[in-house]
Structure 1
Amino acid sequence: MKNLSRLSLAALLLAGTSQAALALEATDFADRLVETSKLMGVSFAYGSATAEGDTVTISDFVISMPGQDDIDVPGDVVFTGVVETAEGGFSAERATIADFEYTDEEEGFSVSFVDIAAEGIVLPADAGLDSVIEIGFNLYDRISAGPLSISDESGTELFAIDLMEVTMEEPTAEGGLSSAYQVSGIRGDLSAIEEPEAQEVMEAFGLSQLSASMSGSGTWWPQTGAASVDDVSFVVDELGSLSLDFAVEGYTEELYRELMKVNLKMAEMAEAGIEIDEDQMADMSEAMLEKMADVKLVDGALRYDDDSLFMKVLDFIGAEQGVDGETFKAGLQFMVPMALAEVENAAFKTMVTNAVNTFIADPQNFTISVEPEEPIAFSEFEGMEAEVENDPFVLVDLLNVQITANQ
């Protein structure tokens, strides 16, 4: 599964970074692809590149990512509808990677991962840092992959995803750059889980199959530094869903370029074959976080929407105590004020009690949001550990935490 996840990521990254350069001279295109991929933190080598008409085929990819083993991409990457642009760049209608089929007879499972493709590819003439925003948001219109299917030795499907997709939108009138993703048709055969405790829970919840999906979108306005992430959600059908959204400011073009420089450094180290251990990876991650210290949080919210999960949990816990779910729910409402008895902030205690008991009585949705009076830089949270430990409501007040239910 670890190798599969790497291959899947590599396939999607390859489709994305293959937006780099579509020269009608195949080796020129391949070399440009190598250079552009570094801005995404990926380095790769290739064996050969050939062109026939408006089709470019690149073979024998070896992808290198910092801290990871090299990945040999099976088959060829084929670009069709290749056209040179007036600016000296290139465009292509579509890029595809060979389907992946693998069987591990010793472990008793098979993997199928098909239809990996990128569409609407645009490759700029300049693949340097000065053009990194244009590269990052104009490389493709759509990247897609799937179905992905994992089966046991008898051919029974254990896990599957119908479609993984990333799309880029046209810039808005205000200069906003938007992208979205979705992962649909997530399925899992829960009956295949052999652990007795897990089976007991699945039986109590009446679940034998998992059905889920994921999606999200975001927009960045480079000229102002504002950005928003909208409705990042994970939905489990007939159980419930979690969704997240937030907005920041201070995510400037200069910051974006600085972050890409870190990507470039990591890719160059991988290309040079320099070993990167966990400590070095942690240092690089910390360096990226430090560059984002002055980004400011405008607002945000985490929301849970119930679709039977809450009562299933109460039924399960209640059964262990010898009562039904409704009886346990009634007792739970009395327990909330007791649990908050030591909270000194009366307004916060009232807000939480009202929201929790409203949700318990009629489980629809529950939201925790932050709405600070002024945007707060992430750097302001540094060095607050002792203060927060002494008085947790420092953060509650600073972030203006709001808790609501059924709204």
Structure 2
Amino acid sequence: MNKLSRLSLATILMATTSQAALALEATDFADRLVETSKLMGVSFAYGSATAEGDTVTITDFVISTPGQDDIEVPGDVVFTGVVETAEGGFSAERASIADFEYTDEDEGFSVSFVDIAAEGILLPADAGIDSVIEIGFNLYDRISAGPLTVSDETGTELFAVDLMEITMEEPTADGGLSSAYQVTGIRGDLSAIEEAEAQEVFEAFGLTQLNASMSGSGTWWPETGEGEVTDISLAVQDLGSLSLDFAVAGYTEEIYRELMKVNLKMAEMAEADIEIDEDQMAEMSEAMLEKMADLKLVGGALRYDDDSLFMKVLDFIGAEQGVDGETFKAGLQFMVPMALAEVENEAFKTMVTSAVNTFIADPQNFTISVEPEEPIAFSEFEGMETEVEADPFVLVDLLNVQITANQ
């Protein structure tokens, strides 16, 4: 064999070996993704995985969840910037799927869902339950999707969302693990709703299009078991917004692991194609609730900020009764003390009357909060039905309910 032939053979062998290694690495990456995702309660299956440079392409990607139909991801799932970590896991800069386009000619609408991606992906060397906290909060940095658009047969937009996003933040200095979400640019063409009664309300409120957004964030401190959810909000332009905040204690690392074990079991059942009926789903849900029975409520608040909705409602109701909104408002303020006449808790009655009438007179914001003296385990509420039926203010006192307006 001459030197040229030997060189050619060596080149072919090297190329073949390299391609085999890349294929094996791609399969390892895909398999690791499948195993890791089970801890989140999701089962993945795929047809093949191939690598070209630091790009891994997975075909025939299917998502399975217990009790639900399988979801076949259109096109390929492409991971870019894939490298093996020093610990034996994998990281990827980005994962994306093909844009989704669907048209139903019979119903006369089309759906477009684009730019679906995840960034900062990290797959561990060992996807075990013992390291599930690290896995869960390091699996990705950001998931985003959108715009999502629904349009009619003429191409007129009926409903749309500009962006849906979930982000995982770097751990705080005190060990807190934080995440946040936002859904922006929610809008809907209200003129497309054909019900006459609905159109009557929209016209009275001066609405032709819905514009809204949603957001929220939370932090968990595994070492102490404390957690807080801040500003879970829904804001509707020119109407108002609702926001929720609450804090809990007792959400320990052990509880988190136990919940992930339930997730893992559900994913394994989905992977094995085991049918799950409603009773089994109820049992699993009950099991998860039982594990969280000793979770304690530290405090919380539900707040409404008005942006003209209140007066629009009064104008609408008043018109049905033949009066304007301001006249109806005056009558409403007069009715508040009467509505609370049978309340025996004088301090609570005074607080509610003051807050409600303050808001009615100048609708800015209204807040209902709970501020118990000590954190209360949710299990304490079990068995209180009879006591609460006899005296509903047992809960008011236990939770130290506070009602305020325009603060």
Question: Normalising by the residue count of structure 2, what TM-score does the alignment of the two structures yield?
Answer: 0.94
The reply to whether residue 301 of structure 1 matches residue 301 of structure 2 is yes
Per-residue Cα deviation, 1:146-181 (whole angstroms, up to 9, x for no partner): 000001111111100000000111101100000000
Q: Indicate the SS of the match to 2:28.
A: helix
Partner residue of 2:220? 220
Contact 2:248 2:296 in 1 (8 A): yes
1:102-128 deviation per Cα after TM superposition (whole angstroms, max 9, x unaligned): 001111110000000111112211111
Structure 2 letter corresponding to 1:229: V
Query: How far does residue 357 in structure 1 lie from its aligned partner after superposition?
Result: 0.2
Instruction: Pick closer, same or farther for the CA change 1:374–1:24 going to 2, 3 Å.
Output: farther
Q: Does 1:395 align with 2:395?
A: yes
**Residue 24 of structure 1, CA deviation:** 7.3
Q: Residues 34-183 of structure 1: matches in 2 within 5 Å?
A: 34-183=34-183
Q: Which residue is equivalent to 1:13?
A: none
The answer to whether residue 234 in structure 2 is matched with residue 234 in structure 1 is yes
Cα-to-partner distance string for 1:228-261 (whole Å, 9 max, x where unaligned)? 0000000001110000000001001000000000
The alpha-carbon deviation at position 83 of structure 1 amounts to 1.2
Indicate conservation of the 8 Å contact 2:23/2:50, yes or no. no
- State the Cα distance separating 1:286 from its structure 2 match: 1.3
Q: How far apart are 1:25 and its partner, in Å?
A: 0.6
Report the residue type matching 1:322 in the other structure: G
Aligned equivalent of 1:310: 310
**Cα deviation, residue 263, structure 1:** 0.4
Aligned residue number for residue 359 of structure 2: 359
- For structure 2, the residue ranges without an aligned partner over 5 or more in a row are 1-21
CA distance in 2, matches of 1:121, 1:72: 21
Contact 1:176 1:221 in 2 (8 A): yes
SS, match of residue 286 in structure 2:
helix
Amino acid paired to 2:175: G
Per the alignment, residue 11 of structure 1 pairs with: none
- Amino acid of the structure 1 residue aligned with 2:264: L
1:370-385 superposed matches below 5 A = 370-385=370-385
Relative to structure 1, the CA distance from residue 207 to residue 330 in structure 2 (aligned partners, 3 Å threshold; closer, same or farther) is same
- TM-score w.r.t. the length of structure 1 is 0.94
- Secondary structure of the 1:35 match is helix
Q: Secondary structure at the match of 2:285?
A: helix
The answer to whether the 8 Å contact 1:24/1:54 transfers is no
What SS is found at the alignment partner of 2:158? Answer: strand
Q: Which amino acid aligns with 2:276?
A: I
Distance in 2 between residues matched to 1:81 and 1:62, nearest whole Å: 23
SS at match of 1:134: helix
Residue identity (%): 90
Match of 1:206 in 2: 206
> Whole-Å Cα distance in 2 between the matches of residues 85 and 45 of structure 1?
24
**Is the Cα–Cα contact under 8 Å of residues 23 and 29 in structure 1 kept in the other structure?**
no
Contact 2:33/2:123 (8 A) holds in 1: no
Amino acid across the alignment from 1:112: S
Q: In structure 1, what is the Cα distance between the partners aligned to 2:126 and 2:294?
A: 30
Aligned length: 386
CA distance in 2, matches of 1:207, 1:121: 42
Q: Residue by residue, what CA displacement relative to the aligned partner does 1:19-47 show, whole Å, maximum 9, x if unpaired?
A: xxx99711111111111111111112110
> How far apart are 1:295 and its partner, in Å?
0.6
Distance in 1 (alpha carbons) for counterparts of 2:87 and 2:201 = 61
Distance 1:274 1:317 in 2: 53
1 CA distance for matches of 2:383 and 2:395? 13
Q: Specify the code of the residue in structure 2 equivalent to 1:285.
A: S
SS of residue in 2 equivalent to 1:155: coil
Q: Pairwise CA RMSD of aligned residues?
A: 1.1
Measure how far apart 1:273 and its partner are: 1.0
Q: 1:19 corresponds to which residue?
A: none
Amino acid of the residue matched to residue 112 of structure 2?
S
Runs of 4+ with >3 A deviation: none
Are the structure 2 counterparts of residues 389 and 23 from structure 1 closer, same or farther at C-alpha, using a change threshold of 3 Å?
farther
- Between the aligned partners of 1:188 and 1:24, the Cα distance in structure 2 is 47
The residue aligned with 2:8 is: none
What amino acid maps onto 1:156 in structure 2?
A: T
Which secondary structure state, in structure 2, belongs to the residue aligned with residue 273 of structure 1?
coil
Alignment correspondent of 2:336: 336
Distance in 2 (CA, whole Å) between partners of 1:23 and 1:386 is: 65
Give the unaligned 5+ runs of structure 1. 1-21
